[in-house]
Structures are given as C-alpha cells and as structure tokens.
Homo-oligomer: A and B are copies of this chain.
C-alpha cells in the first residue's frame, strides 16, 4: 500500500498531554495550516466542475496534512515562514494528492480498447487528468514562491517519485523480492517527497546550507520510517490492529520488508512458497500461510525496528538546529510515526 494509513487520534482540548505529535504540530502551526487549507481549496478550483469534485474527494477537509506540516515546521524552525512557505506546503500536498490519484489507476483493460462504451471511459482517465491538473498547479504554486532552486528540488523529487513507482511496478511484475530493491523503492516513492518537503521549508527561510541539509536528512529518514511502518501495518502491525485490510501488498504482489525478512530467513520449502506467491497467481489461502511465516520470522517486528532506527536518525539530524518548539515537535513526530504501529 502506498496510501498512508490514516493517523486517527483527534485533538482533545484541555488535555494537552494527550495530543498526538501530529496534532501538537497542527496546533503550533494553526494559523499557517489554516492558510494552507485556504490555498488548497482555492487552487483546486477550476471552471471545469469535475476537477474540484474529484480533487475534493482526496483532499477532503480533516486530512492530517503531514507533509505540508513538515514544510511549515521546517520553515519556522529555520526562523522564517510566511507566504512562500504556505505556497510550498500546498504544492507538496498537491504533489502527494496527484500521486494518490495516479496510484488509483487500475488496469486490465487493454483488451477492451474500442469495445467499451464512451461513458464507461471515466474512472481511470479522470483520476489521471485531475492528478495532472494538481501536479501542474503545484508548479504554479512553486512559481509564486519565487525561487528556481526550490523549484528544482521539488521537480527532482517529482521525477524520483515516478521512478520509484515504476520500480515497484516492475519488481511486482517480475516477482522480485530483494532488500536493496525494496530500499530503493521506498527511498524514491516516499522518502524523496518527505525530504523535499522539509528541505524546501528550510530553503524558503533562507536557512544555512547546514540547516537545509539537516532538514533534508530529517525528512528523508522520517519518510523511510513512515513507509516501513505503513508496510508493517499492511500485515496488521504487532497487535494485528482492527479495521485495516490485511495483506493488500501481498495480494498486489508487492514484496515489502516483512515479506522480504521472512523470505531471507526462510527454509528452502518456505522460499519455494514465496517464489510461488511472487511469480504465480496465488490463492486466498496463501495469505494465511504467508502471515504465519512472517510471524515466525518476526517480519513485522523487525520491520518496525528498522523504522525506529530511521526515526532515531531523523531525530539526530535535528541536533544541529537551534532549539525551538518547532524542532521539538518535529523530533516528537519522528518517534510518533513508529509508535502509531504499537
């Protein structure tokens, strides 16, 4: 699953200690976040009604806005903020949303070309086009931020995301399951945007090169931790959480770290099972066996350990920053993305 699991805890007034770090960050940046929400609403408008209709499905009010929060916090942590940071935070959210829309594209229809009625030619195409629209709009927003260097960072992140998604597609198609391959995929499809989100926040505040690199590092490792947790949660996390569809990645043939760990540690028989699962059409009962093997080899637990390491590295990256409530909140966020799985 590329789509992040929603972080569900809501802010509870009067109980500051009970706030999740995401909510704490949102409170700390309440005014800026309001500005971003307004910009999101404004910039997803179009005289073509279908565009805001579809866009608002994904960019609905109440989303946690994790990536834009990181941009805003990074800007503030570097002593800046203001209009450029708002535009960039919105641009980052639009890139993320475009990615989600394009992730939604389903296939299996090449054989039907020319046979489907025109009014059926909808779902996929509109997802693609509205994604394109938001992606283009994100560049308009970057233009408003006015820095060609910042634009370069986000344009590079955007092509890297596409590379990561293609890598993932190609790996799934070939039935590949390797740790270096997996690491390259999550680096590109997830960490690149988290890293750029933090980096451009710092750049918008005219931060020093050391600070800019610190924020880029922070974002990168936070993104890696985030994706590892997401992939652990796809197998139910450690507590076999309720309310989550277990095994989506398995069904889609995506070899994520829990599976790769089980494969690496498996007996020859077990490896043959994984080989079969990854390259052949598999049956519903295969998932039960897969889950059992992942449990036996502590695939989920060890994935979360890897996530914690990245969270620690993210926190460490902040050590060069002048202390501030924003830096503290970003540090707490790093731990939180892992804790949400426990």
Contact = CB atoms under 8 A, between A and B. Distances in A.
Give the interface residue-count category, chain A: 35 or more
A119 B171 CA distance: 10
B114 A251 contact: yes
A136 B165 CA distance: 14
A242 interface: no
24 contacts: A50-B169, A50-B170, A51-B166, A106-B109, A106-B116, A106-B124, A107-B125, A108-B116, A108-B120, A109-B112, A110-B123, A110-B124, A118-B254, A121-B169, A121-B252, A130-B162, A132-B165, A133-B162, A135-B158, A136-B158, A140-B155, A140-B159, A143-B148, A147-B148
A129 B102 contact: yes
Contacts of A126: 166, 169
Contact of A137 (B118, B159, B170): B159
A241 interface: no
Interface in A160-204: 161-163, 165-167, 169-170, 172-173, 175
Given A47-B163, A118-B253, 19 more contacts: A46-B166, A48-B170, A50-B166, A51-B166, A102-B129, A107-B124, A108-B112, A108-B116, A109-B124, A114-B251, A121-B172, A122-B169, A122-B173, A128-B128, A129-B162, A132-B165, A139-B158, A143-B148, A148-B148
B130 A166 contact: yes
Contact of A135 (B117, B129, B135, B172): B135
A136 B121 contact: no
Interface string A67-79: 0000000000000
Interface of A: 46-51, 98, 102, 105-110, 112-114, 116-126, 128-133, 135-137, 139-140, 142-143, 146-148, 151-152, 155-156, 158-159, 161-163, 165-167, 169-170, 172-173, 175, 251-254, 281
A173 B148 CA distance: 40
A138 B107 CA distance: 26
Contacts of A51: 162-163, 166
A169 B129 contact: yes
B158 A117 contact: no
Nearest to A119: B173
A117 B159 contact: no
A133 B159 contact: yes
A40 B108 CA distance: 30
Q: Output the residue of A124, A133, A162 with the most chain B CB within 10 A.
A: A162
Q: Output the residue of A113, A133, A159 with the most chain B CB within 10 A.
A: A159
Contacts of A167: 48
Contact of A109 (B109, B131, B162): B109
A152 B142 CA distance: 9
A339 B120 CA distance: 36
A175 B118 CA distance: 9
A136 B112 contact: no
Nearest first, the 6 closest Cβ-Cβ pairs linking A and B are A118-B253, A136-B159, A136-B158, A133-B162, A139-B155, A108-B116
